[in-house]
Structure formats: structure tokens, C-alpha cells
Amino acid sequence: MNKPSDTTTDNASHNITRHVSVAIIGAGTAGQNAFRQASKIKDDVVIINEGFWTTTCIAVGCMPSKLLIAAADRAHDANNSSEFGVHATAKIDGKQVMQRVRDERSHFASYIKKQVDSWPDHKKIDGRARINEHGLIEVNDEIISAEQIIVATGSSPFIPDGWADKLGDTMLTSNSVFELTDLPKSMAVVGAGAIGLELAQAFTRLGVEVTLLNRVKQVAGLKDEDINHKAIDCLSSELTMHLGSTINNVGTTSDSGNTSAFIEYEDSAGTSQRWQGEYVLVATGRRNNIKQLGVENLGVELDDKNRPKDLSKKTGQIGDLDIYIVGDANANIPLLHVASDEGYSAGNMVCENTENAYIRPPAPPFSIVFCSPQIVNIGMSLPEIQDDSELEFVIGSVSFDNQGRSRVMGVNCGLLHIYGCKKTDRILGASMVGPDAEYIGHILATAITNDLCIKQLLDTPFYHPTILEGLRTALRDVQDKMKIPYQSQDTQEDNF
């Protein structure tokens, strides 16, 4: 293998201050796991980090967003229970809402801080790392030679060119929105992916006047048009959405000393529109933090989107180099559990502990959007299946609009599609918008991971009355369309 330190043989000529077996750049989920595993075997391991020594998930991602959603759901239930004969109006204390988000975030972060504080000080370097033309790591006043390098530098919000300067303090991102000390009166959210949808709905439920803009007529990246249309239908009942809009300009304007933001855009009909309000939340995705690191000096090639080429999706290793790029930094699947696995694996691989380098079989693609109703995608997407001429497939379907328990709970809006392979009787993938989607998604992901057939899934119990009975209806539909015999049962029990 080619090693980072192979690029230099004369340590003195490059003023090397330290030589280590493993250097880890980045202390998020992937980096911390890699450090822990490598440190079990190697004593001369160093971890370098700039900024907070915690994780994207805890600091600016899944945990604070779910804390905000939890408050929003309480308010929504209070304000929308009249159909049950329960009449109430929620009184929302915006300062308390945002304070709890930060307090609980700090609680979660304290466990990470305690762990990081337990690491020896000489193995932690606080600063920005850069890899020079000799393959050496420059950080602060040190020049470090490492036999193997793990890059776990995470990701940052993507901001369109010029927007930060034009919007100034009226611009928010997922990195800054949770620092608000009170709920604003109005907000535009640009981007209808997971981050944009979750935050737009949460702020709406908390009484903020929210307008959601998206370039395409699509939400949550849904690729099954039927599911996408159903998701838009379900969400439109409470969200103001302008999908298929083109933003031409953004900026700020002042009136009587008050500064507000504006967005000039064309709607889906081609009509010029203007939005004006307090903040613009830019939720146009995240990009990996790798461009300025200098990984090209290690022989790593990046594509036009800064994604590393020759990446092993099992270990994060780049070709036969002793370089591992893991977590959000490799732009593979930017999810915490994936970053955790990749960091764990890389931390073992660099120490030749290959027995523990693969801690689970390759999992199917699996994403959850925690809006209400939830959106889930598992396995192959419908376009991927349709593009494979060798696949014979059917689509099993169930609507949750009249599904028994969903209707009882007043959450009866949704649709599930399961893509079944006729040759193998296996699930290729699924897409869903609906109640309890996170749990149905886990069941389907488990089935794909463990190669379970449709009959095996139908042989498992489905308790009545539960929302999960809707899954059984969709599985039966798959089975019917495959023409596979089974003992027929009355599917009306799913509804009544």
C-alpha cells in the first residue's frame, strides 16, 4: 500500500514535530469511533479537530431538530383536537421552546464531552488541519507525519453563491437556527428536503408564518411520483408550499429601522412573486468539508462534487492507499449510524484488526424524514428498479386514508408502495408517506437485510388494531400480484 508518510524520507528537512501511526482529522461521530477503536491497539494515535468536539447530530442536526419537532407536535395536538371533542388553544412560549432545545442539546452533548475529556491531552489537537504537498499534516505549529490517516471532517450547510452577503443576519442555516432565542414571526424555508420539511412544519406548528420554496415539484427527494404526490397532498393541509419555483434574487430591505429579508421568485406558473419576512432558512443540503484539506496531496482524487473516487463503501478506504475517508466527509450516506459504522470499521482497519472491521452486513439504503406524516425510503428506488431490464417487479400498495387504527388516531393520510421481485419473492425496496412510517421502514429494512421473502413476513403476527396492519395489506397486495398462493384472509380487518 501507499502510505501518507511514504512521500517523504527526510524528516528533518520538513521540520516534522511528531510521527504517529494513525492521525484522525475530525472529531464527529465517525472520527470519535475511529479514535476509540484505533487507540485500543495503537498507542501513538492523534485526533485533530477544529470547532466543537461533539457530533453534527447532537450540535446542529437530528437531536435539536427532534427537540423542536417534539414541542411542535405538542402544540399541534392541542390546537387540532376539536374532532375528538377536545377544545383547546396552545399558548406557546417561544423563548422557553428554544431554551429547552438548547438545554436538552447540552445534556446530550455532555456525554460526548465527558468522553472526550477522558482522552489524554497529548492525543488531542484543537486546530485546523491541512495536508501539505509532502503528505504531512500541518496544524497550529506542528507538522505531523502519519503512517495512516482517517479523514472524518463532516459536512456544512450549502449556501448558494452570494446569499450570505445579500441576506446577512437574516439568513439562517441548520447550523444557526437553533441559536434563536425566541420564535420569529415569519420565515421562508428554501429547500424541501429532510431538513427543510422538518423545520418548516415544526416552526409552522409553533405559530411561525412559514413559506416553503423548492426548485422542483418534489418533497423529501421522493422518486416514486405517486408517493410524492400523496406527500404533497398530506403536507399541504398545514404547510404553505411553493414547489417548482425559481428564485431570482434575495436580499434585505429596511423600513423604519427594521431590517427584513426578501425573496424574488417565479412560481410554477411562471408568475413573478415576492416574499418578505423576518428570516430566510437556507436548507439546500449539506456538502462535505474536504475541499480545503489538501487530500489530493495524498493521492486522493475528487469528482466535481468533492466526493472521493475509488471509495470503499464498506471501510471508507481510498483504493489501496492508507487513507480512509469516513462519515459525512465521503458524501456517501450522510447519516449518523452510517458514520458510526464507517468510523468503527476504519479504526479497526488501520490497525489491521480486520476481524472487527465489518460489524454488520451491508445495509440497504434507508432514510426517514420526521415530518408528519413521516416519509421513508428503503432499498432500491422505483426508477432504479425500472431501469434494470432484468428485474420483474410488482408494486404492492396500501392507502392509509381509511386504515382502521390510523383513522381512530386521526392521522389517516398516507400511502405505502412495496416493490417486490417476482423471480425471488423478495422485497427490492419501498417508499412511504404515512403514520408510523419509521417503524414500518425498520421492518422492511430488516426484511431486505436478512433476505426474508414475502411469505415469511406475512407469517409474522400483526396485532389488531395497529397501524402496522397496513403493512400487511401492502404485502398481501405484493403477493397477489406475484400470483403466489397463500391462505386468503379478509383484509377488511385492517380497516375495522
| Whole-model pTM over 0.75 | yes
Q: Are 188 and 172 in contact (CB under 8 A)?
A: no
Q: Where are the domains of the chain?
A: 4-51+127-157+287-356, 163-284, 366-491
Picking from 96-105, 257-266, 354-363, which range would have the lowest pLDDT averaged per residue?
Answer: 354-363
| Residue-level pLDDT at 1 | 45
- The whole-angstrom separation of Cα 152 and Cα 290 is 9
Reduced to 3 states, what is the DSSP secondary structure of residue 396? strand
Beta strands in 120-256 (DSSP E): 124-126, 130-131, 137-139, 142-151, 155-157, 171-172, 186-190, 209-214, 240-243, 246-255
The three three-digit cell numbers of residue 446, written as one number:
430488516
Is the peptide bond prior to 64 cis by the omega test (within 30 degrees of 0)?
A: no
**pLDDT for 41:** 85
The CATH superfamily of 4-51+127-157+287-356 is FAD/NAD(P)-binding domain (3.50.50.60)
Residue 207 has pLDDT above 60, yes or no: yes
**Average of pLDDT values for 298-319?**
86
Q: Tell me, yes or no, if the two domains 4-51+127-157+287-356 and 163-284 fold the same way.
A: yes
Q: What is the pLDDT of residue 337?
A: 63
Q: Is the pLDDT of residue 359 over 50?
A: no
| The pLDDT of residue 5 | 54
- Other Cβ atoms within 10 Å of 216 Cβ, number: 12
Write the Ramachandran bin of 93: left for phi over 0, alpha for psi from -120 to 50, otherwise beta.
Answer: beta
In this structure, of 126-135, 241-250, 375-384, 482-491, the range with the lowest mean pLDDT score is 482-491
Is residue 430 a contact partner of residue 418, using CB atoms and an 8 Å limit? yes
Q: What is the DSSP letter of 329?
A: G
In the chain, the percentage of residues whose pLDDT exceeds 90 is 74
Task: Determine phi and psi for 476, rounding to 5 degrees.
Answer: -65, -35
The alpha-helical segments, DSSP class H, found in 279-381 are 336-349
Cross-strand pairs, 375: 369, 433
Backbone angles phi, psi at 284, to 5 degrees: -95, 25
In CATH, the architecture of 366-491 is 2-Layer Sandwich (3.30)
CA nearest neighbour of 423 among 382, 482, 491? 482
The position carrying cell 421513508 is 376
Return the DSSP state at 125: E
Tens of pLDDT, residue by residue over 468-493, are: 999 999 999 999 999 754 444 444 44
Nearest to 248 by CA among 171, 166, 158, 157: 166
* CA distance linking residue 292 with residue 47, whole number of Å: 18
Range with the poorest average pLDDT among 47-56, 392-401, 411-420, 483-492: 483-492
Domain 163-284 has CATH 3.20.20.80: no
271-302 pLDDT, tens digit each: 999 999 999 999 999 999 998 899 999 999 99
The answer to whether 69 and 198 are in contact (CB under 8 A) is yes
What is each CA distance from 390 to 14, 242, 495, in whole angstroms?
Answer: 56, 39, 36
Edge-to-edge strands, sheet with 393-399: 366-369, 374-379, 426-434, 415-421, 393-399
Q: What share of the chain is helix, strand, coil (3-state, %, to 5)?
A: 35, 25, 40
pLDDT digits (tens, 9 = 90+) for 58-73: 888 899 999 999 999 9
Q: How far is CA 364 from CA 77, 100, 239, 411, in A?
A: 34, 35, 31, 28
